[in-house]
Structure 1
Protein backbone atom coordinates (compact mmCIF):
# COMPACT_ATOMS: atom_id res chain seq x y z
CA UNK A 1 0.00 0.00 0.00
CA UNK A 2 1.30 3.44 -0.92
CA UNK A 3 2.34 5.59 2.02
CA UNK A 4 0.08 8.56 2.75
CA UNK A 5 1.68 11.93 3.31
CA UNK A 6 1.45 13.30 6.83
CA UNK A 7 0.96 16.87 7.99
CA UNK A 8 3.72 18.39 10.10
CA UNK A 9 5.65 21.57 10.80
CA UNK A 10 7.11 22.77 7.46
CA UNK A 11 10.29 24.16 9.02
CA UNK A 12 10.98 20.96 10.97
CA UNK A 13 10.42 18.89 7.84
CA UNK A 14 12.70 21.16 5.82
CA UNK A 15 15.47 20.87 8.41
CA UNK A 16 15.21 17.09 8.46
CA UNK A 17 15.33 16.96 4.67
CA UNK A 18 18.42 19.18 4.51
CA UNK A 19 20.17 17.06 7.14
CA UNK A 20 19.37 13.84 5.31
CA UNK A 21 20.58 15.18 1.95
CA UNK A 22 23.75 16.52 3.54
CA UNK A 23 24.53 13.09 4.97
CA UNK A 24 23.79 11.54 1.58
CA UNK A 25 27.11 12.90 0.31
CA UNK A 26 28.91 10.03 2.01
CA UNK A 27 26.64 7.45 0.36
CA UNK A 28 27.40 8.90 -3.07
CA UNK A 29 31.09 8.28 -2.43
CA UNK A 30 31.05 4.82 -0.91
CA UNK A 31 27.67 3.06 -0.93
CA UNK A 32 26.32 0.61 -3.50
CA UNK A 33 23.64 1.64 -5.95
CA UNK A 34 20.93 -0.15 -4.00
CA UNK A 35 22.05 1.38 -0.72
CA UNK A 36 21.98 4.84 -2.30
CA UNK A 37 18.43 4.27 -3.52
CA UNK A 38 17.30 2.95 -0.12
CA UNK A 39 18.83 5.92 1.67
CA UNK A 40 16.78 8.31 -0.51
CA UNK A 41 13.43 6.77 0.41
CA UNK A 42 13.14 8.83 3.62
CA UNK A 43 14.03 11.95 1.63
CA UNK A 44 11.19 11.22 -0.77
CA UNK A 45 8.80 10.80 2.16
CA UNK A 46 10.00 14.02 3.78
CA UNK A 47 9.62 15.96 0.53
CA UNK A 48 6.03 14.75 0.11
CA UNK A 49 5.24 15.56 3.73
CA UNK A 50 6.69 19.04 3.29
CA UNK A 51 4.55 19.71 0.22
CA UNK A 52 1.45 18.40 2.00
CA UNK A 53 2.15 20.63 5.02
CA UNK A 54 2.44 23.93 3.15
CA UNK A 55 -1.27 24.70 3.52
CA UNK A 56 -0.80 24.60 7.32
CA UNK A 57 -4.31 23.19 7.64
CA UNK A 58 -4.67 20.15 9.89
CA UNK A 59 -8.22 19.56 8.66
CA UNK A 60 -7.05 18.94 5.08
CA UNK A 61 -5.58 15.51 5.71
CA UNK A 62 -6.66 13.81 2.47
CA UNK A 63 -4.86 14.60 -0.79
CA UNK A 64 -8.11 15.47 -2.57
CA UNK A 65 -9.01 17.98 0.11
CA UNK A 66 -5.57 19.61 -0.02
CA UNK A 67 -5.76 19.89 -3.80
CA UNK A 68 -9.22 21.48 -3.57
CA UNK A 69 -8.10 23.97 -0.90
CA UNK A 70 -5.18 24.96 -3.11
CA UNK A 71 -7.34 25.40 -6.21
CA UNK A 72 -9.87 27.49 -4.26
CA UNK A 73 -7.09 29.93 -3.39
CA UNK A 74 -6.48 30.52 -7.10
CA UNK A 75 -9.91 30.42 -8.79
CA UNK A 76 -9.63 31.51 -12.41
CA UNK A 77 -5.87 31.00 -12.54
CA UNK A 78 -4.06 28.32 -14.54
CA UNK A 79 -2.37 25.82 -12.22
CA UNK A 80 0.39 23.44 -13.31
CA UNK A 81 -0.37 19.81 -12.51
CA UNK A 82 2.98 19.46 -10.73
CA UNK A 83 1.86 22.10 -8.23
CA UNK A 84 -1.07 19.86 -7.35
CA UNK A 85 1.26 16.87 -7.09
CA UNK A 86 3.33 18.78 -4.52
CA UNK A 87 0.42 20.08 -2.44
CA UNK A 88 -1.41 16.75 -2.62
CA UNK A 89 1.69 14.77 -1.70
CA UNK A 90 0.79 12.05 -4.21
CA UNK A 91 1.68 11.15 -7.78
CA UNK A 92 -1.95 10.19 -8.59
CA UNK A 93 -3.16 13.78 -8.36
CA UNK A 94 -4.94 13.59 -11.76
CA UNK A 95 -7.26 10.92 -10.38
CA UNK A 96 -8.15 13.13 -7.42
CA UNK A 97 -8.87 16.05 -9.74
CA UNK A 98 -11.21 13.87 -11.77
CA UNK A 99 -13.03 12.93 -8.56
CA UNK A 100 -13.42 16.61 -7.69
CA UNK A 101 -14.90 17.26 -11.13
CA UNK A 102 -17.04 14.17 -11.60
CA UNK A 103 -18.17 13.16 -8.12
CA UNK A 104 -18.13 16.49 -6.33
CA UNK A 105 -19.17 18.97 -9.01
CA UNK A 106 -16.25 21.39 -9.10
CA UNK A 107 -15.97 23.21 -12.44
CA UNK A 108 -12.46 22.26 -13.47
CA UNK A 109 -11.13 22.37 -17.01
CA UNK A 110 -7.93 20.81 -18.29
CA UNK A 111 -5.40 21.87 -20.87
CA UNK A 112 -6.55 18.99 -23.07
CA UNK A 113 -10.07 20.40 -23.31
CA UNK A 114 -8.86 23.96 -23.96
CA UNK A 115 -6.60 22.61 -26.72
CA UNK A 116 -9.57 20.91 -28.42
CA UNK A 117 -11.66 24.09 -28.17
CA UNK A 118 -8.88 26.31 -29.53
CA UNK A 119 -8.54 24.04 -32.56
CA UNK A 120 -12.16 24.79 -33.46
CA UNK A 121 -12.37 28.47 -32.43
CA UNK A 122 -11.58 31.34 -34.76
CA UNK A 123 -10.45 33.40 -31.78
CA UNK A 124 -8.40 32.45 -28.74
CA UNK A 125 -9.43 32.72 -25.12
CA UNK A 126 -6.81 35.18 -23.92
CA UNK A 127 -3.09 34.84 -23.36
CA UNK A 128 -3.28 32.79 -20.15
CA UNK A 129 -5.70 30.12 -21.41
CA UNK A 130 -4.13 30.04 -24.86
CA UNK A 131 -0.84 29.07 -23.22
CA UNK A 132 -2.32 26.21 -21.17
CA UNK A 133 -0.40 22.95 -21.41
CA UNK A 134 -2.20 19.57 -21.44
CA UNK A 135 -1.41 18.96 -17.76
CA UNK A 136 -2.62 22.39 -16.63
CA UNK A 137 -5.86 22.93 -14.71
CA UNK A 138 -8.21 25.83 -14.05
CA UNK A 139 -11.00 26.05 -11.48
CA UNK A 140 -13.74 28.20 -13.02
CA UNK A 141 -15.82 28.88 -9.91
CA UNK A 142 -15.74 28.52 -6.13
CA UNK A 143 -19.29 27.11 -6.21
CA UNK A 144 -20.04 23.41 -6.56
CA UNK A 145 -22.41 22.10 -9.20
CA UNK A 146 -24.66 19.82 -7.18
CA UNK A 147 -26.11 18.12 -10.27
CA UNK A 148 -22.73 17.18 -11.72
CA UNK A 149 -22.59 13.62 -10.38
CA UNK A 150 -26.00 12.82 -11.90
CA UNK A 151 -24.98 14.30 -15.27
CA UNK A 152 -21.77 12.29 -15.32
CA UNK A 153 -23.79 9.12 -14.82
CA UNK A 154 -25.97 10.09 -17.80
CA UNK A 155 -22.83 10.89 -19.80
CA UNK A 156 -21.37 7.49 -18.97
CA UNK A 157 -24.45 5.71 -20.31
CA UNK A 158 -24.53 7.74 -23.53
CA UNK A 159 -20.83 7.34 -24.31
CA UNK A 160 -21.28 3.53 -24.26
CA UNK A 161 -23.91 3.58 -27.04
CA UNK A 162 -22.07 2.05 -29.99
CA UNK A 163 -24.68 2.83 -32.64
CA UNK A 164 -24.42 6.61 -32.17
CA UNK A 165 -21.90 8.94 -33.80
CA UNK A 166 -19.93 11.42 -31.71
CA UNK A 167 -22.24 14.23 -32.83
CA UNK A 168 -25.36 12.22 -31.97
CA UNK A 169 -23.99 11.36 -28.53
CA UNK A 170 -23.29 15.01 -27.80
CA UNK A 171 -26.76 16.03 -28.98
CA UNK A 172 -28.41 13.34 -26.87
CA UNK A 173 -26.47 14.56 -23.85
CA UNK A 174 -27.49 18.18 -24.46
CA UNK A 175 -31.14 17.16 -24.86
CA UNK A 176 -30.90 15.33 -21.53
CA UNK A 177 -29.77 18.60 -19.93
CA UNK A 178 -31.80 21.36 -21.58
CA UNK A 179 -31.28 24.69 -19.84
CA UNK A 180 -28.36 23.42 -17.76
CA UNK A 181 -24.73 24.42 -17.99
CA UNK A 182 -22.55 21.54 -19.16
CA UNK A 183 -18.80 21.71 -19.49
CA UNK A 184 -16.44 20.92 -22.31
CA UNK A 185 -14.99 18.25 -20.02
CA UNK A 186 -18.37 16.50 -19.98
CA UNK A 187 -18.75 16.73 -23.76
CA UNK A 188 -15.22 15.43 -24.25
CA UNK A 189 -16.05 12.49 -22.00
CA UNK A 190 -19.30 11.74 -23.89
CA UNK A 191 -17.23 11.72 -27.09
CA UNK A 192 -14.90 9.08 -25.62
CA UNK A 193 -12.16 11.73 -25.30
CA UNK A 194 -12.01 12.26 -29.05
CA UNK A 195 -10.74 15.74 -29.91
CA UNK A 196 -13.47 16.21 -32.53
CA UNK A 197 -16.06 16.90 -29.79
CA UNK A 198 -15.60 20.68 -30.08
CA UNK A 199 -16.12 20.66 -33.85
CA UNK A 200 -19.18 18.43 -33.58
CA UNK A 201 -20.66 20.75 -30.93
CA UNK A 202 -20.17 23.75 -33.22
CA UNK A 203 -21.78 21.86 -36.10
CA UNK A 204 -24.86 21.16 -33.99
CA UNK A 205 -25.24 24.92 -33.54
CA UNK A 206 -24.24 26.24 -36.97
CA UNK A 207 -25.29 23.47 -39.36
CA UNK A 208 -28.14 21.79 -37.51
CA UNK A 209 -29.60 24.83 -35.76
CA UNK A 210 -29.58 23.70 -32.14
CA UNK A 211 -29.50 26.79 -29.83
CA UNK A 212 -26.30 25.86 -27.99
CA UNK A 213 -24.95 28.97 -26.30
CA UNK A 214 -21.40 29.75 -25.20
CA UNK A 215 -19.67 32.80 -23.80
CA UNK A 216 -19.01 34.15 -27.29
CA UNK A 217 -22.20 33.04 -29.07
CA UNK A 218 -25.06 34.43 -27.02
CA UNK A 219 -24.43 34.05 -23.27
CA UNK A 220 -21.49 36.29 -22.32
CA UNK A 221 -21.90 35.51 -18.63
CA UNK A 222 -20.93 31.87 -19.18
CA UNK A 223 -17.43 30.81 -18.23
CA UNK A 224 -15.06 29.63 -20.94
CA UNK A 225 -15.71 25.97 -21.83
CA UNK A 226 -19.32 26.01 -20.58
CA UNK A 227 -22.31 25.33 -22.88
CA UNK A 228 -26.09 25.58 -22.57
CA UNK A 229 -28.76 24.13 -24.87
CA UNK A 230 -31.36 26.75 -24.00
CA UNK A 231 -34.29 25.15 -25.84
CA UNK A 232 -35.02 21.73 -27.30
CA UNK A 233 -35.81 23.15 -30.73
CA UNK A 234 -33.87 23.61 -33.95
CA UNK A 235 -33.62 26.98 -35.67
CA UNK A 236 -35.02 27.46 -39.21
CA UNK A 237 -32.64 26.25 -41.90
CA UNK A 238 -31.85 29.73 -43.28
CA UNK A 239 -30.49 30.84 -39.89
CA UNK A 240 -27.96 28.04 -39.83
CA UNK A 241 -25.75 29.53 -42.55
CA UNK A 242 -24.53 32.48 -40.47
CA UNK A 243 -20.93 31.96 -39.40
CA UNK A 244 -20.14 32.06 -35.70
CA UNK A 245 -17.70 34.94 -36.13
CA UNK A 246 -20.37 37.07 -37.86
CA UNK A 247 -23.06 36.13 -35.36
CA UNK A 248 -20.69 36.96 -32.49
CA UNK A 249 -19.90 40.40 -33.93
CA UNK A 250 -23.61 41.18 -34.34
CA UNK A 251 -24.35 40.18 -30.74
CA UNK A 252 -21.45 42.28 -29.45
CA UNK A 253 -22.54 45.31 -31.48
CA UNK A 254 -26.07 45.00 -30.07
CA UNK A 255 -24.72 44.38 -26.54
CA UNK A 256 -26.24 40.89 -26.45
CA UNK A 257 -29.71 42.44 -26.25
CA UNK A 258 -32.87 41.92 -28.32
CA UNK A 259 -33.36 45.07 -30.39
CA UNK A 260 -37.15 44.74 -30.27
CA UNK A 261 -38.01 44.00 -26.62
CA UNK A 262 -34.75 44.64 -24.77
CA UNK A 263 -34.41 41.08 -23.45
CA UNK A 264 -30.92 39.84 -22.61
CA UNK A 265 -29.42 36.95 -20.71
CA UNK A 266 -29.39 38.83 -17.43
CA UNK A 267 -33.11 37.96 -17.46
CA UNK A 268 -32.64 34.33 -18.53
CA UNK A 269 -34.09 31.51 -16.48
CA UNK A 270 -35.08 27.91 -17.29
CA UNK A 271 -38.80 28.70 -17.11
CA UNK A 272 -38.39 31.34 -19.85
CA UNK A 273 -35.87 29.67 -22.16
CA UNK A 274 -35.32 32.53 -24.56
CA UNK A 275 -32.15 32.88 -26.54
CA UNK A 276 -30.67 35.32 -29.00
CA UNK A 277 -30.80 34.89 -32.76
CA UNK A 278 -29.53 36.90 -35.70
CA UNK A 279 -32.31 38.20 -38.00
CA UNK A 280 -31.76 39.20 -41.65
CA UNK A 281 -32.82 42.82 -42.29
CA UNK A 282 -32.97 42.25 -46.04
CA UNK A 283 -34.75 38.95 -46.42
CA UNK A 284 -32.57 35.94 -47.06
CA UNK A 285 -34.83 34.77 -49.91
CA UNK A 286 -34.38 38.20 -51.54
CA UNK A 287 -30.62 37.92 -51.56
CA UNK A 288 -29.91 39.31 -48.10
CA UNK A 289 -26.35 38.46 -47.15
CA UNK A 290 -24.99 36.99 -43.94
CA UNK A 291 -23.12 40.16 -43.08
CA UNK A 292 -22.95 42.19 -39.89
CA UNK A 293 -24.68 45.12 -41.60
CA UNK A 294 -27.61 42.97 -42.70
CA UNK A 295 -28.20 41.28 -39.35
CA UNK A 296 -29.83 42.40 -36.13
CA UNK A 297 -30.02 40.72 -32.72
CA UNK A 298 -33.46 39.48 -31.65
CA UNK A 299 -34.63 37.06 -29.00
CA UNK A 300 -36.30 33.99 -30.48
CA UNK A 301 -39.74 35.24 -29.35
CA UNK A 302 -39.42 38.52 -31.25
CA UNK A 303 -37.82 36.73 -34.17
CA UNK A 304 -40.87 34.47 -34.45
CA UNK A 305 -43.18 37.51 -34.21
CA UNK A 306 -41.47 39.15 -37.17
CA UNK A 307 -41.90 35.99 -39.20
CA UNK A 308 -45.57 35.76 -38.31
CA UNK A 309 -46.02 39.33 -39.51
CA UNK A 310 -44.72 38.32 -42.90
CA UNK A 311 -41.10 39.37 -42.47
CA UNK A 312 -39.90 36.00 -43.62
CA UNK A 313 -36.28 35.86 -44.62
Structure 2
Protein backbone atom coordinates (compact mmCIF):
# COMPACT_ATOMS: atom_id res chain seq x y z
CA UNK A 1 0.00 0.00 0.00
CA UNK A 2 1.35 3.42 -0.95
CA UNK A 3 1.74 5.60 2.16
CA UNK A 4 -0.45 8.68 2.30
CA UNK A 5 1.13 11.92 1.17
CA UNK A 6 1.44 14.19 4.24
CA UNK A 7 0.99 17.25 2.02
CA UNK A 8 -2.36 15.88 0.83
CA UNK A 9 -3.29 15.23 4.47
CA UNK A 10 -2.28 18.80 5.27
CA UNK A 11 -4.50 20.20 2.49
CA UNK A 12 -7.41 18.03 3.63
CA UNK A 13 -7.06 19.18 7.27
CA UNK A 14 -6.87 22.83 6.21
CA UNK A 15 -9.97 22.41 4.05
CA UNK A 16 -11.80 20.74 6.94
CA UNK A 17 -10.90 23.62 9.26
CA UNK A 18 -12.05 26.15 6.68
CA UNK A 19 -15.35 24.29 6.36
CA UNK A 20 -15.80 24.56 10.12
CA UNK A 21 -15.34 28.35 10.22
CA UNK A 22 -19.06 29.00 10.71
CA UNK A 23 -19.17 26.42 13.50
CA UNK A 24 -16.31 28.17 15.28
CA UNK A 25 -18.02 31.55 14.86
CA UNK A 26 -21.12 30.08 16.48
CA UNK A 27 -19.06 28.37 19.20
CA UNK A 28 -20.27 24.93 18.10
CA UNK A 29 -18.60 21.60 17.20
CA UNK A 30 -15.50 22.21 19.33
CA UNK A 31 -14.61 18.50 19.39
CA UNK A 32 -14.74 18.31 15.58
CA UNK A 33 -12.57 21.42 15.27
CA UNK A 34 -9.99 20.01 17.70
CA UNK A 35 -9.94 16.74 15.75
CA UNK A 36 -9.23 18.66 12.53
CA UNK A 37 -6.42 20.54 14.31
CA UNK A 38 -4.94 17.23 15.46
CA UNK A 39 -5.00 15.96 11.88
CA UNK A 40 -3.25 19.15 10.80
CA UNK A 41 -0.51 18.78 13.44
CA UNK A 42 0.07 15.15 12.48
CA UNK A 43 0.35 16.10 8.80
CA UNK A 44 2.86 18.86 9.61
CA UNK A 45 4.90 16.51 11.80
CA UNK A 46 5.02 13.90 9.04
CA UNK A 47 5.84 16.46 6.35
CA UNK A 48 8.83 17.78 8.28
CA UNK A 49 9.79 14.29 9.54
CA UNK A 50 9.41 15.34 13.14
CA UNK A 51 12.02 18.13 12.96
CA UNK A 52 11.43 20.82 15.58
CA UNK A 53 11.24 24.41 14.26
CA UNK A 54 14.11 26.71 15.10
CA UNK A 55 13.47 30.09 16.69
CA UNK A 56 15.39 32.74 18.59
CA UNK A 57 14.76 31.08 21.96
CA UNK A 58 13.79 27.54 21.00
CA UNK A 59 10.43 26.11 20.00
CA UNK A 60 7.90 26.64 22.79
CA UNK A 61 9.61 29.74 24.16
CA UNK A 62 9.72 31.38 20.78
CA UNK A 63 6.08 30.55 20.05
CA UNK A 64 4.96 32.05 23.35
CA UNK A 65 6.99 35.21 22.75
CA UNK A 66 5.64 35.65 19.23
CA UNK A 67 2.08 35.22 20.46
CA UNK A 68 2.52 37.69 23.33
CA UNK A 69 4.20 40.16 21.00
CA UNK A 70 1.32 39.85 18.54
CA UNK A 71 -1.00 40.76 21.42
CA UNK A 72 1.33 43.34 23.01
CA UNK A 73 -0.29 44.95 26.06
CA UNK A 74 -3.28 42.57 25.96
CA UNK A 75 -4.13 39.96 28.58
CA UNK A 76 -3.71 36.39 27.28
CA UNK A 77 -5.21 33.44 29.18
CA UNK A 78 -3.09 30.56 30.45
CA UNK A 79 -5.10 28.08 28.36
CA UNK A 80 -4.20 30.08 25.27
CA UNK A 81 -0.51 30.14 26.26
CA UNK A 82 -0.60 26.37 26.79
CA UNK A 83 -2.15 25.83 23.36
CA UNK A 84 0.41 28.08 21.65
CA UNK A 85 3.38 26.46 23.40
CA UNK A 86 2.27 22.91 22.71
CA UNK A 87 3.98 21.67 25.90
CA UNK A 88 2.98 21.04 29.50
CA UNK A 89 5.79 23.14 31.02
CA UNK A 90 4.74 26.42 29.40
CA UNK A 91 4.80 28.27 32.77
CA UNK A 92 8.53 27.56 33.01
CA UNK A 93 9.03 29.09 29.58
CA UNK A 94 7.24 32.23 30.76
CA UNK A 95 9.68 32.46 33.69
CA UNK A 96 12.62 31.99 31.31
CA UNK A 97 11.36 34.80 29.09
CA UNK A 98 11.08 37.03 32.14
CA UNK A 99 14.38 36.35 33.85
CA UNK A 100 16.77 34.89 31.32
CA UNK A 101 15.68 37.06 28.40
CA UNK A 102 14.54 40.16 30.28
CA UNK A 103 11.00 40.49 28.93
CA UNK A 104 8.53 42.34 31.14
CA UNK A 105 5.59 39.95 31.39
CA UNK A 106 2.87 40.78 33.90
CA UNK A 107 0.80 38.03 35.52
CA UNK A 108 -2.63 38.24 37.09
CA UNK A 109 -5.51 35.83 37.68
CA UNK A 110 -4.09 33.15 35.40
CA UNK A 111 -3.46 35.62 32.57
CA UNK A 112 -0.30 37.14 31.09
CA UNK A 113 0.57 40.19 29.06
CA UNK A 114 3.79 41.47 27.50
CA UNK A 115 4.32 45.13 28.41
CA UNK A 116 7.22 45.97 26.10
CA UNK A 117 8.36 44.46 22.82
CA UNK A 118 12.08 44.77 23.60
CA UNK A 119 13.79 42.96 26.48
CA UNK A 120 15.16 44.78 29.52
CA UNK A 121 18.94 44.34 29.41
CA UNK A 122 19.33 45.35 33.05
CA UNK A 123 16.96 42.52 33.97
CA UNK A 124 19.09 40.12 31.91
CA UNK A 125 22.25 41.27 33.69
CA UNK A 126 20.58 40.82 37.05
CA UNK A 127 19.55 37.28 36.13
CA UNK A 128 23.15 36.48 35.22
CA UNK A 129 24.26 37.83 38.60
CA UNK A 130 21.74 35.68 40.47
CA UNK A 131 22.69 32.62 38.41
CA UNK A 132 26.43 33.06 39.01
CA UNK A 133 25.84 33.35 42.77
CA UNK A 134 23.59 30.30 42.72
CA UNK A 135 26.43 28.28 41.23
CA UNK A 136 28.88 29.32 43.95
CA UNK A 137 30.19 26.66 46.30
CA UNK A 138 29.93 27.05 50.04
CA UNK A 139 27.19 27.38 52.66
CA UNK A 140 23.76 28.71 51.75
CA UNK A 141 24.02 31.75 54.03
CA UNK A 142 27.14 32.89 52.17
CA UNK A 143 25.33 32.73 48.85
CA UNK A 144 22.31 34.64 50.18
CA UNK A 145 24.56 37.28 51.77
CA UNK A 146 26.55 37.61 48.54
CA UNK A 147 23.30 38.23 46.65
CA UNK A 148 22.16 40.90 49.12
CA UNK A 149 25.59 42.55 48.99
CA UNK A 150 25.68 42.55 45.20
CA UNK A 151 22.31 44.32 45.13
CA UNK A 152 22.78 46.50 48.22
CA UNK A 153 20.14 49.22 48.42
CA UNK A 154 17.89 47.30 46.02
CA UNK A 155 14.90 45.06 46.74
CA UNK A 156 15.68 41.37 46.21
CA UNK A 157 12.68 39.18 45.38
CA UNK A 158 11.69 35.97 47.12
CA UNK A 159 12.28 34.09 43.85
CA UNK A 160 15.86 35.40 43.63
CA UNK A 161 16.55 34.49 47.26
CA UNK A 162 15.15 30.99 46.73
CA UNK A 163 17.24 30.52 43.59
CA UNK A 164 20.53 31.14 45.37
CA UNK A 165 19.35 29.21 48.46
CA UNK A 166 18.98 26.11 46.24
CA UNK A 167 16.21 24.20 47.95
CA UNK A 168 15.93 26.23 51.13
CA UNK A 169 13.67 29.20 51.80
CA UNK A 170 15.83 32.20 51.01
CA UNK A 171 13.75 34.61 53.10
CA UNK A 172 14.34 32.50 56.21
CA UNK A 173 18.08 32.51 55.57
CA UNK A 174 18.06 36.31 55.07
CA UNK A 175 16.30 36.80 58.41
CA UNK A 176 18.82 34.53 60.10
CA UNK A 177 21.65 36.62 58.66
CA UNK A 178 20.01 39.81 59.94
CA UNK A 179 19.69 38.38 63.42
CA UNK A 180 23.21 36.92 63.42
CA UNK A 181 25.19 39.75 61.83
CA UNK A 182 22.89 42.68 62.73
CA UNK A 183 22.93 43.85 59.13
CA UNK A 184 20.14 46.33 58.29
CA UNK A 185 18.15 43.94 56.11
CA UNK A 186 14.63 45.26 55.58
CA UNK A 187 11.44 43.34 54.80
CA UNK A 188 7.95 44.64 54.11
CA UNK A 189 7.61 44.89 57.92
CA UNK A 190 10.30 47.58 57.96
CA UNK A 191 9.66 49.52 54.76
CA UNK A 192 6.33 50.32 53.07
CA UNK A 193 7.79 50.22 49.57
CA UNK A 194 8.75 46.54 49.83
CA UNK A 195 6.37 43.77 48.82
CA UNK A 196 5.82 40.53 50.71
CA UNK A 197 8.86 38.28 50.39
CA UNK A 198 11.21 41.07 49.31
CA UNK A 199 14.37 41.88 51.28
CA UNK A 200 16.78 44.79 50.99
CA UNK A 201 20.22 45.22 52.51
CA UNK A 202 20.35 48.94 53.25
CA UNK A 203 24.07 49.29 53.93
CA UNK A 204 27.22 47.25 54.43
CA UNK A 205 29.01 49.87 56.54
CA UNK A 206 29.92 48.80 60.06
CA UNK A 207 28.58 52.13 61.33
CA UNK A 208 25.12 51.18 60.04
CA UNK A 209 24.76 47.88 61.87
CA UNK A 210 21.62 47.35 63.91
CA UNK A 211 21.82 47.71 67.66
CA UNK A 212 22.02 44.27 69.34
CA UNK A 213 18.73 45.01 71.13
CA UNK A 214 16.96 44.56 67.77
CA UNK A 215 17.35 40.80 68.17
CA UNK A 216 14.65 41.01 70.85
CA UNK A 217 12.04 42.36 68.43
CA UNK A 218 10.82 39.73 65.93
CA UNK A 219 9.46 40.69 62.54
CA UNK A 220 5.78 40.48 63.49
CA UNK A 221 6.36 42.86 66.42
CA UNK A 222 8.37 45.29 64.27
CA UNK A 223 5.53 45.25 61.76
CA UNK A 224 3.01 46.28 64.43
CA UNK A 225 5.23 49.09 65.74
CA UNK A 226 6.12 50.54 62.32
CA UNK A 227 2.58 50.29 60.96
CA UNK A 228 1.18 52.04 64.01
CA UNK A 229 3.82 54.78 63.73
CA UNK A 230 3.29 55.01 59.95
CA UNK A 231 6.94 54.11 59.26
CA UNK A 232 7.95 57.42 60.80
CA UNK A 233 10.61 58.09 63.42
CA UNK A 234 8.90 59.29 66.59
CA UNK A 235 11.80 61.65 67.39
CA UNK A 236 12.78 63.44 64.17
CA UNK A 237 9.50 62.69 62.33
CA UNK A 238 11.30 61.55 59.22
CA UNK A 239 9.34 58.93 57.35
CA UNK A 240 10.57 55.99 55.39
CA UNK A 241 12.20 56.04 52.87
CA UNK A 242 13.53 59.41 53.99
CA UNK A 243 12.73 61.17 50.74
CA UNK A 244 14.08 64.51 52.05
CA UNK A 245 17.46 63.00 52.91
CA UNK A 246 20.45 63.10 50.53
CA UNK A 247 20.67 60.11 48.21
CA UNK A 248 23.80 58.80 49.95
CA UNK A 249 22.33 59.05 53.46
CA UNK A 250 21.39 55.74 55.04
CA UNK A 251 17.90 55.58 56.54
CA UNK A 252 16.19 52.65 58.21
CA UNK A 253 13.94 52.10 61.20
CA UNK A 254 14.64 50.33 64.47
CA UNK A 255 12.45 49.62 67.48
CA UNK A 256 13.24 51.62 70.60
CA UNK A 257 11.85 50.88 74.06
CA UNK A 258 10.52 53.91 75.90
CA UNK A 259 11.40 52.47 79.31
CA UNK A 260 15.04 51.59 78.74
CA UNK A 261 18.08 52.54 76.71
CA UNK A 262 18.99 50.00 74.00
CA UNK A 263 21.79 48.46 76.07
CA UNK A 264 19.39 47.94 79.00
CA UNK A 265 16.45 46.43 77.09
CA UNK A 266 17.86 42.94 77.61
CA UNK A 267 17.36 43.41 81.35
CA UNK A 268 13.59 43.86 80.98
CA UNK A 269 11.19 40.95 81.32
CA UNK A 270 9.88 39.34 78.15
CA UNK A 271 6.46 40.81 78.87
CA UNK A 272 7.81 44.35 79.10
CA UNK A 273 10.02 43.94 76.05
CA UNK A 274 7.04 43.00 73.90
CA UNK A 275 4.60 45.59 75.31
CA UNK A 276 3.50 47.42 72.17
CA UNK A 277 2.42 50.59 73.99
CA UNK A 278 5.99 51.09 75.25
CA UNK A 279 7.66 50.64 71.88
CA UNK A 280 8.29 53.25 69.20
CA UNK A 281 9.78 53.56 65.75
CA UNK A 282 13.16 55.25 65.65
CA UNK A 283 15.41 55.96 62.69
CA UNK A 284 19.00 54.79 62.81
CA UNK A 285 20.27 58.34 63.33
CA UNK A 286 18.10 58.98 66.36
CA UNK A 287 18.93 55.57 67.84
CA UNK A 288 22.58 56.61 67.89
CA UNK A 289 22.01 60.21 68.97
CA UNK A 290 23.22 61.64 72.26
CA UNK A 291 19.65 62.47 73.33
CA UNK A 292 17.63 59.43 72.32
CA UNK A 293 13.83 59.28 72.69
CA UNK A 294 13.83 57.18 75.87
CA UNK A 295 15.41 60.03 77.89
- Tell me the TM-score normalised to structure 1 length: 0.62
Contact 1:277–1:300 (8 Å) recurs in 2: yes
What does 1:163-242 correspond to in 2, within 5 Å?
A: 163=138, 165-192=139-166, 194-215=167-188, 217-232=189-204, 233-242=208-217
What does 1:19-58 correspond to in 2, within 5 Å?
A: 21-22=31-32, 40-42=38-40
**2:279 corresponds to which of 295, 300, 310:** 295
Partner residue in 1 for 2:257: 280
Greater RCO structure (CA 8 Å; 6+ sep): 1
Partner residue in 1 for 2:227: 252
Q: CA deviation at 1:249?
A: 0.2
1:63 is the counterpart of 2:64: yes
Report the secondary structure of 1:239's partner residue.
helix
Report the secondary structure of 2:281's partner residue.
strand
- Tell me the TM-score normalised to structure 2 length: 0.65
Q: 1:266-308 CA deviation, whole Å, 9 max, x = no partner? A: 5348523311111121221442613322221011111111xx4
Report the secondary structure of 1:277's partner residue.
strand
Partner residue in 2 for 1:31: none
**1:90 corresponds to which of 86, 89, 93:** 86
Task: Tell me, in whole angstroms, the C-alpha distance in 2 between the residues paired with 1:45 and 1:294.
Answer: 75
Structure 2 stretches of 5 or more lacking a match?
1-17, 45-61
Task: Tell me, in whole angstroms, the C-alpha distance in 2 between the residues paired with 1:250 and 1:69.
Answer: 48
Q: CA deviation at 1:200?
A: 0.9
Over the aligned positions, Cα root-mean-square deviation in angstroms equals 4.2
Larger radius of gyration: 2
Q: CA deviation at 1:252?
A: 0.7
Relative distance call for 1:267 and 1:197 in structure 2 (3 A) is: same
Relative distance call for 1:21 and 1:85 in structure 2 (3 A) is: closer
Q: 204-213 or 263-272, which moves further after superposition?
A: 263-272
Q: What is the total number of aligned residue pairs between the two structures?
A: 243
Task: Tell me, in whole angstroms, the C-alpha distance in 2 between the residues paired with 1:137 and 1:188.
Answer: 24
Contact 1:276–1:297 (8 Å) recurs in 2: yes
Task: Tell me, in whole angstroms, the C-alpha distance in 1 between the residues paired with 2:212 and 2:278.
Answer: 17
What does 1:65-84 correspond to in 2, within 5 Å?
A: 65-67=66-68, 73=74, 81-82=78-79, 84=81
